[in-house]
Amino acid sequence: MFLPTTKQEMDTLGWDRPDIILVTGDSYIDSPFIGIAVVGKTLTRAGFRVGIIAQPDIHSPADITRLGEPRLFWGVSGGCIDSMIANYTSLKKKRKSDDYTPGGQNTKRPDRASIVYSNLIRQYFKKTVPIVLGGLEASLRRVAHYDYWDDRVRGSILFDAKADYLLYGMAEKVAVELAQTLEKGESPRQIRGLCYISGEADMASVRENYIELPPLDVVEKDKTAFTDMFHTFYRNNDPITAKGLYQKHGNRYLAQNPPQPSMTQAELDPVFAVGYERAQHPYYERQGKVKALETIKFSILSHRGCYGECNFCAIAVHEGRTVQWRSEESILAEARELTKYSDFTGYIRDIGGPTANMYGFECGRKLEKGACVAKRCLYPEVCPTLKPDHSKQISLLKKLRKIEGIKKVFVASGVRYDAVLADKKYGEPFLEEVVRHHVSGQMKVAPEHSEPSVLKIMGKPGTEPLLKFKGMFDRLSKEAGKAQFLTYYLIAAHPGCTAADMGKLQEFTAKNLKINPEQVQVFLPAPSTYSSLMYYTGIDPFTGKTLFVEKELPKKEFQKRIVTGKTIAKR
C-alpha cells in the first residue's frame, strides 16, 4: 500500500489529519531503496499515520498544504542524494537529468532542498509542530562542514533550515522513538541519533558529558581548527564508543547526541517485510516515469554499512562502519515476492549493498568494543581480525537461484577485491560462483587510481591486489567458457593527484588492464568526508603535509581527458 499523498487518499482511510508528514526532494517511490519510503513504512508499522509530500512546488502553497498540518512533526529530506550533488556536476554545471524526478528532467528539486522545504513549511504554517531534518543531506551537514559550491565552511544545516531537530544516519529507529516521545508530550533531547539547538541556559549537562567542537566562527577562518574539529567529529560516529558533541554557532549551540545503536538482524528484517509497491505513486506517475525504478524495482538490499572507509566516500559517516545484514530467510522471502509481480521477467538486477561482498561477516572486536580509532578494516591492508568470510553469501546466492520463477540473479554492486583475496577459504569459490552464475558480462570494481601516492590519500589499496584479482577473474571466466570483463571506476583530480599522475594511470590501464577507461569521474567533494577536508585545506590531515589540490575547473576536466585518452599529459 502507498502512503497517502493527497487529501482524497486520507479521506478514504478515514483520517482527519496525519500524525507525521514527510517532505522529500525525490518523487514518492515506494521502495526499500528509498529512505523516505522506508522511514514512512516503519513509522506506519509502529502505529502512526504518515503522509508524504514529494517535490512540493516552492512557489505556491498548493502542495505543502494539501495534507494539512501533522499532529506530531514534519519530516524533511533533500532526497536520496544531497540536493547540491543531485543538481550539479563536479565541474559545477547544472545537471539536466534527475533519476528521481518524474519525466527525468532536473526541474523540481531546489538547491539546498532541506532548507527550502523547511522555510516553505514555516511560511504557511506559523508556529507549527516540530520540523525534523533527516536523510543524507542533513546527515552529512549536521555539524560545521566544507561546502564545495560556496567554497567555504558552512554551519550546521539545522540552523540554516531553522528546524527543530535533525536525525542522522539510518533513521528508522530514531524516527519511531521521536514519534513515541512526542506522542507522550516529552522532550526528545535525550534520544540517540538526534541533534538539536540549545541556548546557553540549557548547556550545563551537555558540557559535562559531551565533547566540545571548536566554534563555528573559529573553524570558518582557521583551517587547522577545522581539521581538528573534523577528526573529533569523524571519530565519534561509532554507536559503541562515540561521545556526544556540541558546537557553538553564534550565541547558540548545536548539540549532537551519540549515535543510535546499530540495528540487530531481528530489527532489520521487518524493515523489508512491510510490503512495498516498488513503484512510483500514481499521483506522480502521471507526471512521468522515474529512471531510478529501472535499477531498483527488482533489486534486493542484503546489507548496509561499509568497512571500506574510502576517504572520498560518505557511507561510513551516514550508514556507519559496522555492516548489518539481513537474515537469509528475509532475503529469500523478498525474492519470492518479486516473482509475483506481473512485470517481473525472472531477472533480479542486483543483490548487494554499498559494496557487493560484505554480507554475512563482521569484526567480532568491533561488535563488542566498537570501531578502532587508530586503524581501518581494509586499509592499508585487510585487518586480520576482520576475517572476511564469503560462505554465507555463497549459500544465499545458491538458494536464490533455486527459487521458482527466477532466471538469473545479478551481482551488480561493486566488488571489494581485496576482501575476496583476504578470504583464503571462500574468496575464490565466491568469485567462481559469481563468474559462473551472477555476472551480466561485466563486473564492477573500483580501484580509483594506480599511483601509490594518490591511492594512499584516497585510502585505497595498491595495484597488486587489483591485478591478482583480475588474473583470478579472467581465469575463472575462461574456465566457465564465458567472455566477461571487469569495469573499472576511476577518479580524476582527487586531492594529491596531478596531471602527471593521470598520465601514469592512463599508461597503467592501457598496459595492465588492456582498456581505454570510460568510467572516470572528476572528484566531487561531498560534505563531511576526509577528501573534502583535504580539498579545502590543501593539507593531508593524517600527516600534516601540504597536498597539491587541483581547483581550476578546466584543469580538472583536463585530468579526466588524460586518462580517457583524449589528450596527452604534460610531464
Name the pLDDT band for 519 (thresholds 50, 70, 90): confident
The per-residue pLDDT for range 331-352, each reduced to its tens digit, is 999 999 999 999 999 999 999 9
Same domain, 138 and 12: yes
Q: In 3D, which of 247, 345, 263 has the Cα closest to residue 301?
A: 263
* Average pLDDT estimate for 536-555: 98
Same domain, 431 and 448: no
Same domain, 381 and 325: yes
| Range 562-566, long-range pairs (CB < 8 A, 24+ positions) | 562/492, 562/499, 562/502, 562/503, 562/505, 562/506, 563/490, 563/492, 563/502, 563/505, 563/506, 563/509, 563/517, 563/520, 564/516, 564/517, 564/518, 564/520, 565/506, 565/510, 565/516, 565/517
Is 419 a residue whose pLDDT tops 50? yes
Pair 101, 27: CB distance under 8 Å: yes
Residue 247 lies in a domain: no
Number of domains within the chain: 3
Same domain, 556 and 436: no
Is 570 a residue whose pLDDT tops 60? no
pLDDT given for residue 191 in this prediction: 98
Residue 230 lies in a domain: no
- Phi and psi angles of residue 104, each rounded to the nearest 5 degrees, phi first: 80, -5
* Average pLDDT estimate for 528-547: 98
- For the chain, the first-to-last Cα distance in angstroms comes to 60
Same domain, 489 and 350: no
The per-residue pLDDT for range 437-456, each reduced to its tens digit, is 999 899 999 999 999 999 99
* Average pLDDT estimate for 229-255: 97
Q: Radius of gyration over alpha carbons of the chain, in Å?
A: 23
Residue 524 lies in a domain: yes
Same domain, 370 and 481: no
The per-residue pLDDT for range 70-83, each reduced to its tens digit, is 999 999 999 999 99
Same domain, 174 and 308: no
Residue 207 lies in a domain: no
* Average pLDDT estimate for 130-156: 98
Q: What is the 3-state secondary structure (H, E, C) of 330-345?
A: HHHHHHHHHCCCCCCC
Question: Rounded CA gap, 259 and 305, in Å?
Answer: 14
pLDDT given for residue 354 in this prediction: 94
Question: Rounded CA gap, 369 and 375, in Å?
Answer: 14
| Range 239-244, long-range pairs (CB < 8 A, 24+ positions) | 239/192, 239/320, 239/322, 239/370, 240/368, 240/369, 240/370, 240/371, 241/369, 241/370, 241/371, 241/373, 242/370, 243/209, 243/210, 243/211, 244/206, 244/209, 244/210, 244/211
Residue 202 lies in a domain: no
Residue 75 lies in a domain: yes
Residue 26 lies in a domain: yes
Residue 567: domain span:
444-571
pLDDT given for residue 568 in this prediction: 58
Same domain, 76 and 188: yes
Residue type at 461 in one-letter notation: P
The per-residue pLDDT for range 17-60, each reduced to its tens digit, is 999 999 999 999 999 999 999 999 999 999 999 999 999 999 99
Question: Of 440, 461, 487, at which residue does a domain stop?
Answer: 440
Residue 454 lies in a domain: yes
* Average pLDDT estimate for 459-485: 97
Write down the mean pLDDT value for the chain.
96
Strand 194-198, strand 211-213: pairing: unpaired
Q: What is the pTM of this model?
A: 0.96
pLDDT given for residue 571 in this prediction: 45
* Average pLDDT estimate for 355-378: 95
Question: Rounded CA gap, 337 and 357, in Å?
Answer: 23
Residue 383 assigned to a binding site = no
Question: Of 440, 470, 501, at which residue does a domain stop?
Answer: 440
Residue 310 assigned to a binding site = yes
Structure-model confidence comparison of residues 553 and 204, the more confident one:
553
Same domain, 427 and 460: no
Same domain, 408 and 448: no
User: What DSSP string describes 355-372?
Assistant: STT--S---HHHHHH---
Pair 16, 67: CB distance under 8 Å: no
Scanning 274-360, the segments in alpha helix (DSSP H) are: 282-285, 292-296, 315-318, 328-338
Same domain, 78 and 153: yes
Same domain, 336 and 436: yes
CATH for 192? 3.40.50.280
Question: Of 169, 196, 223, at which residue does a domain stop?
Answer: 196
CATH for 324? 3.30.750.210
Is 566 a residue whose pLDDT tops 90? no
CATH for 568? 3.30.750.200
